[in-house]
Structure 1
Amino acid sequence: MPYKLLNNFYIKLQYNHMSISKDDNLEQREPNTNKTFDFPSLPPELFNKYLWELWPGNNRFLFKGKFMLGPHCDNLHFYCTIAVLIVIPSGFFLLIANYLWENVSIVIPILSGYTYVACICFYFLTVFTEPGIIPRRNVFEALGGVPKEFTADVIFTEDGPLYKFCQTCEIYRPPRSHHCTKCNNCVELFDHHCPYLNNCIGARNYFYFFVFVTHLMMLGLIDISGFLAFLFYKPGDYDDTIINQTEVVLIITVILSLALSILTILIGILCIFHFSLCLTGETTKERIRGNKGSKKCMFWRNKKSRFNLRALLSSEQAKHLSPNSIEIEMSKSDSSRE
């Protein structure tokens, strides 16, 4: 049997010493039906598992647990966002950036390039940063034990009534933390789940999210000004564009301008909304429910993760996360006939 098939299984063989006939001129041995022996020791890495391989939530992982993504249900929104981030800026740089550089001003293409690079960087930082997930009880137990701040001991503290017991995670989650039904995790300082980013927005990635939204609004305003300068600053002169057909360039430019204007208005509203949240110390969920926030802005929060996705778990630790692990025992008849 290949070694790979032995992962997560505890193997014990039962065997009998078969009696040998006298014709073999060998010592006759009595059968021993009770004696057992352990299977020869195998490399530990065959039995050990990484935490990301046994993660109980709905998250996905890339590059052997180095990056965490949200659930599959966000794929449509997630891919549409990536397409918009590629198509509209590409149209700007391919169609009009050279014209603006040569005939209008180099400032607009430079600012557009900077904000676009910043948007991409903070976009993926928001997507791949663990948002502040509070592990479930079995994850804590596998990693060494549940901290007191997530046990029933917290109900005796001053803020005890604010702690709520999560039936799914089996922990007492801190104030302002909520269980995300899509990711199936409790998230500390939960703001909202964003399907366009395929991730929750919480204590550890809210700063990246806010900077991304701000730069995205700036990028929209800069590109709109570039489109307007391309259309009205020097009408009729489009020799510096890659596509030389004037009619095609005009049609594409007008379509991109209208689409970008609508998106910029929506993103601007979102940016203003989150700027107001930063001033009041609220989260999106608290604002919608009318709950009181905090005087402290969400930027200055503890950003240390509570777990390591690439932590290597022993077979004993993995029992807490894989309750369906099976112990294979070969029967006496099967082992004796092979």
Structure 2
Amino acid sequence: MAIRVYQVWKGSNKFILGGRLIFGPDARSLLVTILLITVPVIIFCAFVARHLRHKFSSYNAGYATLVVAIVFTIYVLVLLFLTSARDPGIIPRNSHPPEDEIRFDTSVSVDVGGRQTPSLQFPRTKEVIVNGLPVRVKYCDTCMLYRPPRCSHCSICNNCVEHFDHHCPWVGQCIGLRNYRYFFMFVSSSTLLCMYVFAMSALYIKVQMDQYESTVWKAMKESPASVILMAYCFVSLWFVGGLTGFHLYLIGTNQTTYENFRYRADNRINVFNRGCVNNFLEVFCSKVEPSRNNFRAFIQEEVPRPQVLPELPRAAADDLASHPRSKVEDDLDIGEDLLKISQRRNIDEISEDIRSRGSNGPPLNAPETDPVLESDHQAPTIRSDRHSSWGRRSGSWEIATEVFANSNVTESRGYVTSKEAFQG
């Protein structure tokens, strides 16, 4: 059965409708946000706007109060859906580290006999030029890529998101390159909806005062729903209104929330600032970039890649040329020999086999091999230390009494990895 990309996605996202919609791991909070928007509007339509239908000079003009509230609410919910149910700008993960960034360090490990073992090294950061100025980008160990400028790894969604702003729990999604515009429009529209409901509720209290010639307190008692709606909208305005103002400042200066909180005290030059007008045009008038991920695509078998590695340093190349058989291969053969030895019962065959293969270690005496020969099912385990991949210490071997059932698998993996590192 064919498997699609979204079914094996390594991030923490949730997919519905066969991968057509993508949400964050906290998508349930989206239901709370929807209730916080729709419940007050329903109360407003039932207890306020319905009574304002015939309170205007034109008999049917009051219906506009009800229609505007309903249409505006639908508009806000659509913006919320566009913000939370789409790819915010996730950068696809690599299946292997970037080969063009591999470096070899020959000074890390030195074997007995003076031979050096090159080790793979990855620079943790590198610089790219943005608008003529250098910008440092970091390597992501999880996604195995160098993050583009203004990209960050979201710890909640477990993805690298381009132009990462923040992860919003109210919409259950990261805010990034592809949904920031809709996020701002959702927040600003929610602010306008709160202002509208607040104003219409206050108007209804004023109508009550004029109709019954009563005081404010008596009018408020006649319409408790208006009072509750005004209090709710007043508190909400501090949140969504303040958020709207803050993001207006960020857009005008071409910053993200992440950059503003992290680099505010560094007094860095903002290389992305193109001027207030151009910054607003970039957010609201630029084309939304297509998603880099096709979550509904079928997974295809990965074609084996050619082993292309950077050229080894001169010292490492000379060392490998002078020793046709590398240390790892020597260690592997000796390890295989030991596994074969554990299955033999004749001590003379053991000694003869080791001498015929030219082992570097001292010959094994009979008392030392007795524990190994006592069991037909136990294989020797080679203890390793930090200076050797197979545990060789000054030309000798240590064989543990424990059994490693998958020792051959571990050895095979180490051999393949080392062979890829040393062969061009």
TM-score (ref. length: structure 1): 0.68
Alpha-carbon deviations, 1:224-271, whole Å to 9, x = none? 111111112233869xxxxxxx99972333222201211022211111
Does the CA contact (< 8 Å) of 2:3 and 2:299 recur in 1? yes
- The equivalent of 2:6 in structure 1 is 52
> Among 280, 283, 289, which residue is 1:298 paired with?
283
Aligned equivalents of 1:283, 1:147: Cα separation in 2: 31
Aligned equivalents of 2:138, 2:187: Cα separation in 1: 31
- The equivalent of 1:86 in structure 2 is 38
Alpha-carbon deviations, 1:128-172, whole Å to 9, x = none? 12100001112xx7xxx98999x98x9575357522101111100
* 1:307 pairs with 2:284: no
Secondary structure of the equivalent of 1:235?
A: helix
CA 1:213–1:247: 2 relative to 1, 3 Å = closer
* 1:64 pairs with 2:18: yes
Structure 1: stretches of 5+ with no match in the other structure = 1-45, 239-245, 320-338
For residue 167 of structure 1, what is the amino acid of its counterpart? D
Alpha-carbon deviations, 1:275-315, whole Å to 9, x = none? 1111111111111122535324434365211111101113x
For residue 243 of structure 2, what is the amino acid of its counterpart? L
Q: Which has the higher contact order (CA 8 A, sep 6+)?
A: 1
Aligned equivalents of 2:99, 2:221: Cα separation in 1: 63
- The equivalent of 2:314 in structure 1 is none
Secondary structure of the equivalent of 2:15?
A: strand
- Following superposition, the deviation at residue 223 of structure 1 comes to 0.6
Secondary structure of the equivalent of 2:296?
A: coil
Aligned equivalents of 1:264, 1:147: Cα separation in 2: 51
Higher deviation after alignment, 96-105 or 270-279: 96-105
| Aligned pairs (5 A) from 1:235-314 | 235=209, 250-289=223-262, 290=264, 292=270, 293-295=272-274, 296=279, 297-299=282-284, 300=286, 302-314=288-300
Secondary structure of the equivalent of 1:164?
A: strand
Aligned equivalents of 1:81, 1:66: Cα separation in 2: 22
CA 1:52–1:234: 2 relative to 1, 3 Å = same
- The equivalent of 2:89 in structure 1 is 132
- Following superposition, the deviation at residue 204 of structure 1 comes to 0.1
- The equivalent of 1:4 in structure 2 is none
For residue 116 of structure 1, what is the amino acid of its counterpart? T
- Following superposition, the deviation at residue 180 of structure 1 comes to 0.3
For residue 273 of structure 2, what is the amino acid of its counterpart? S
Aligned equivalents of 2:39, 2:245: Cα separation in 1: 25
- The equivalent of 1:200 in structure 2 is 174
Secondary structure of the equivalent of 2:38?
A: helix
Aligned equivalents of 2:99, 2:79: Cα separation in 1: 32
Aligned equivalents of 1:157, 1:180: Cα separation in 2: 22
> Among 48, 51, 62, which residue is 1:96 paired with?
48
Does the CA contact (< 8 Å) of 1:162 and 1:174 recur in 2? no
* 1:108 pairs with 2:94: no
- Following superposition, the deviation at residue 126 of structure 1 comes to 0.4
Does the CA contact (< 8 Å) of 1:111 and 1:222 recur in 2? no
- Following superposition, the deviation at residue 92 of structure 1 comes to 0.9
Structure 2: stretches of 5+ with no match in the other structure = 57-61, 102-121, 213-218, 305-424
CA 1:164–1:92: 2 relative to 1, 3 Å = same
Does the CA contact (< 8 Å) of 2:162 and 2:176 recur in 1? yes
Percent sequence identity over aligned pairs: 31
- The equivalent of 1:191 in structure 2 is 165
Aligned equivalents of 1:236, 1:318: Cα separation in 2: 79
Does the CA contact (< 8 Å) of 2:205 and 2:220 recur in 1? no
- Following superposition, the deviation at residue 318 of structure 1 comes to 11
- The equivalent of 1:19 in structure 2 is none
Higher deviation after alignment, 271-280 or 159-168: 159-168
RMSD, matched Cα:
3.1
Which one has a bigger Cα radius of gyration?
Answer: 2
TM-score (ref. length: structure 2): 0.55
Aligned equivalents of 2:65, 2:252: Cα separation in 1: 31
Does the CA contact (< 8 Å) of 1:190 and 1:285 recur in 2? yes
CA 1:198–1:248: 2 relative to 1, 3 Å = farther
